Every structure is written in structure tokens, then in C-alpha cells.
Structure 1
Amino acid sequence: MSNSTAAAVLTTDDLAEAIRAVHTLLGIADVSQAEVDFEAVIRSSDVLARARHVLPDLEWWASADKEHGSSEVGDDPANCLPIRVFDWCRPLDRAEPFIAALGPDPAAVRWDLNAWPAVPEAGLEDVSQKYAYLTFTVNSRDLYQNELSQDHTVHVHVRSGDQTARVQWLANQVGGRFAGRVELAPL
């Protein structure tokens, strides 16, 4: 197991603006073998139905704890709301439909990238898959849906020693700025 540092580079209440920023960053990264992971707290049956339409085999458990319901034992998630959802290693084309399904519920969508590229003019070498991630938090400012909000935050993950220069460069690419807000992200 390794850790990366996740730095917030853009926070906005405009979902379309945040998605454009994600697209820009995905256009910079090497995504040739990338995949996407999902974490969410689903509180309503409407959101649950939309999310299950996008990802029918969601892994989940009741927010209270697994003893109050989970996908492991075949419980009906609609009877266990609110639930925590975890889904891993999906194709990139599942991300936007999942985000659209969420409505007001909080989530984190993480793209596991192949690499951040070298940027010689900024003095940056390429960064391997081990530290190349992008997380978009919807209706939450943190990676774990603990700081709920009505806005959305784009986080870039980098090596600790690479933090300031690469994060600032990536933030500049999306019209954001790095204000020093970082989280440790165990992966």
C-alpha cells in the first residue's frame, strides 16, 4: 500500500465547470489503461435507482454498519438507506453517468491514471501510476464525504515531494489555484 497527497485545485458550485476541469486534466494525463473508482453516500431511493442503473452491481453497506445491511448478504439497499457505496475498476465512461445520477448526494470519483506527464518547462518529470490519480468530489469538499457542501472539488494526487510545483501547474491548466489544502490519500 502506498499513499499520495491529494490537493484541491478547483472548488466550484458549477458542476459543468468542474467536469470541464476534470476533462482538461484527463487530457493531460496518460489514461491509456486508466480506470475509475466510486465512493458515495446514497440517501434516497431515487438516487439509488439512478446509481444502480449506471452501476447495477454496486457494493454497499448500510451507513450505520454492515450488520444493518450490505450487498455481501444480498440485502435490498432500498431498505437500508442511507448506504455507503464502493465500486472499483470501472471503465472511464461510467464516471459522468454516475455523477449525473447523484443529485444532492455526496460522492468521490477517482480516476486511477497511468501517469502525469513530464513538463520540462516547469521542471517536472513524469510521475508513475503509483502517484497519478484525479479525484472529483461531488457535494463534498473532502475525499471521504465528511465535509458536505453544495459545491464540488477537483483534487489532483501527486508524490509528496512533487506537491507544490506539479499541483500549481495542474491548477493553472484548469483556471484553479492551489491554496495549500491537501489530504493524505491511502491507496
Structure 2
Amino acid sequence: MSNSVAVAVLVTADLGKAIRSVRALLAVADVADGEVDFEATIRTPEVLSRVQEVLPGLEWWAVEGKEHGCSEAGDDPAVCLPVMVFDWGRPMDRAEPFIAAAAGTAAAVRWDLNAWPEVPEADLEAVSQKYAYLTLTLNSRDLYQREPSRDHTIHVHTDGTDGSARRVEWLAGQIGGRPTGRVEPAPI
């Protein structure tokens, strides 16, 4: 297990803009063998049904704790609402359907990339998979959905060194963003 820090580089109330910005960053990244991870607190049967359709077999547990219901025990999540959803290692093509299914819910989507490639014109070396992550938080400003919001935030993960700040600034510039000053620890 490694740790990264996540730097917020774009905050917008426009979900379409957030998705287009993520797509632009993914176009820069090496996404070979990439995966996507999901987190959300689901409070309504409607959202639960939509998310289950996109992520069959998802892992979940009751907000009150696993003893109040969980996928591991074979419980019915609709009876245990609200539930926490943590689903890992899905194909990257599941990201946008999940975003649509989770509409209005505080959630996070993290893309686990193969690498951030070298950018010679910006004097940036390649960054290995260990620190090549991108997170979009929906209806939340923070990675863990503790700060509900009406907007969405894109976070670029880094090793936290001074040298990585240049990459974060460069990536933010690719989407018309800039580091906002918000940096969060992000255990991976």
C-alpha cells in the first residue's frame, strides 16, 4: 500500500464540464490496464437500483455498520439504506454510467492509471502507476464525501514532493484549471 496526496485542480457546478475535463486528463494519461474505483453513500432506493444496474455485485454495507447489513452477508441493500458503496477494480468504461446512476449523490470515482507520461516540453518525467491517479468527487468537495456540495471536484494524485507540483500545475492547465490549494492525504 502506498500513500499519495490529492490536489484539487478544478471545482465546477457543471457536471458536463467535469466529465469533459476528466476525459481530457485521461487522454493525456497512459490508461493501459487502467481501472476505476467507486465510493458513495446511497440513501434512496432509486439511486441504489440505478447503481446496482451499472455495477452488478457491488460491495456495500449499512452506514450504521456491517452488523446492520452488508453484501458479504447476502443482505438486501434496499432494506438497509443508507448504505456505503465501495467497489474496486472495475473496467474504466463503467465510470460514466456510474456517474449518471449516482446523480445527486455524494460519490467519488477514482481512475487508477498506468502512468502519467513524460512531457519533455514541460520538463516532466514519467510518473509510475504508484502515483498515477485521478479522482472526481460528485456533489462533494473532499475525497471522502464528508463535505457535501452542489459542485464537483477533480483531484490529481501525486507523491507530494516539490517536483510533483509542476506536474499538477501542468495537468490543471490542460483543463483550464489550477491547483485550488486544497490537498488531502489519499491512502491507496
Q: How far is 1:70 from its partner?
A: 0.5
- Specify every segment of 5 or more residues in structure 2 that has no aligned partner in the other structure, as ranges: none
Look up the match of 1:11.
11
Matched, 1:181 2:179: no
- TM-score (norm: length of structure 2): 0.97
- Specify every segment of 5 or more residues in structure 1 that has no aligned partner in the other structure, as ranges: none
Look up the match of 2:170.
169
- TM-score (norm: length of structure 1): 0.98
Look up the match of 2:121.
121
4+ aligned runs moved over 3 Å, structure 1: none
Look up the match of 1:154.
154
Look up the match of 2:136.
136
Q: How far is 1:117 from its partner?
A: 1.1
Alignment partners' CA distance in 2, 1:116 and 1:89: 19
Identity value in percent? 67
Q: What is the aligned length?
A: 187
Alignment partners' CA distance in 2, 1:103 and 1:169: 30
Q: How far is 1:105 from its partner?
A: 0.8
Q: How far is 1:179 from its partner?
A: 2.1
Look up the match of 1:68.
68
Q: How far is 1:163 from its partner?
A: 3.1
User: Would you say the 8 A contact 1:105–1:139 is kept in 2?
Assistant: yes
Look up the match of 1:21.
21
SS of alignment partner, residue 39 of structure 1: strand
